[in-house]
Structure 1
Amino acid sequence: MCEGNIIGQLKEGHACAFDLLYRTYYPVIEKFILANSGSRDDAKDIFQETLLIFSRNLAKEDFALTSSLKTYLYAISRNLWLKSLRDRKMESALISADQDFPDLSIHAQQEKESDEKLTHYMDGLIAKMPVHCQKIVHYVYYDNVPVEEIAERMGYSNTHTASNVKYKCLQQMKKVTGKR
């Protein structure tokens, strides 16, 4: 069980620290989103994106938490949800300017003789990532699951959300390796 400095444990990539974040702060975010025209699936998507943003910020050398962790995560989630509501409103009004998404799929082609090395290397990288990213990366690299099926398995409301989260998780993995 994670005890002590949760920020330090998060910086070190301890999975139990991310689990603790989810158990402690997800209910607050879910309550906010449900009270503001959202669903449980929306809350899950927003919280996962919040954790990705938080993880990215936490990795910065100059990161300093100037509020409580609860306030920080709530602010990120709130901003993401408000943006999502604005986007939905624009979408329902048939404004399509923001609907062009780049192809975010990444195809890993591996040769048979390097499969074992790559698998070992990937396992090490994946272990340093949040749990939801571990699942997504596993689906992409090990199971070759299409983004539509990832959206369904992870409970995302649509494939665009799944593509965005997949992209961010893969970007985070690149960051872990020091490659940009």
Structure 2
Amino acid sequence: MAKNIHPDQRYIIGLINNDTAIINDIYKRCAGKVRSWITFNNGSDDDAADIFQESLMDIYRQAKYKSLELTCPFEPYILLICKRKWLNAIKKRSVLPVTNSEEDLLLIGEDTFANADYLESQEQQSKLFYEAFEKLGDRCKEIISWSMKGEAQEKVAEALGVTYGYLRKKKSECMASLVKIVQSTKTEF
């Protein structure tokens, strides 16, 4: 059975040919997401830059020497590679010994492309959430943003200059509005 080569194969070809426009596009589309994910997961901007560069080099080597043919979108593919590289880097830095449990051994043969598809669907869901979030009023955006930082609600209420009871009620209303917007957007497609 022939593989269906994804149109994003152009990124692989661009890497092999050192096409500046394609490489700039890869950085523009993907580097910020990798940086956000790595810094959110205890890394620095330098860590993110290193991981991204190493991942691009790995893809380049796979393409040049092993004829990599992309059957999924490029962006989730590189994000998955970066994520795995960063998780491995964290394990290497850890002072605790790293042991493989049976569960870890089962994951070794995971289908990379299924993971890439999963990442793409996660990205689409995030995009849908952020689009819905932008449609909320300023006060709701502020309350939800503060709440997502993981602060205790008492501290959030104090920072926003409202009572704890008001914050809980307003947050509930804002979340309901957000869910409603997301659901109405989903039915449009």
TM bucket, shorter chain: 0.3 to 0.5
Give the structure with the larger helix fraction.
2
Which structure has the bigger radius of gyration? 2
TM-score after normalising by structure 2: 0.43
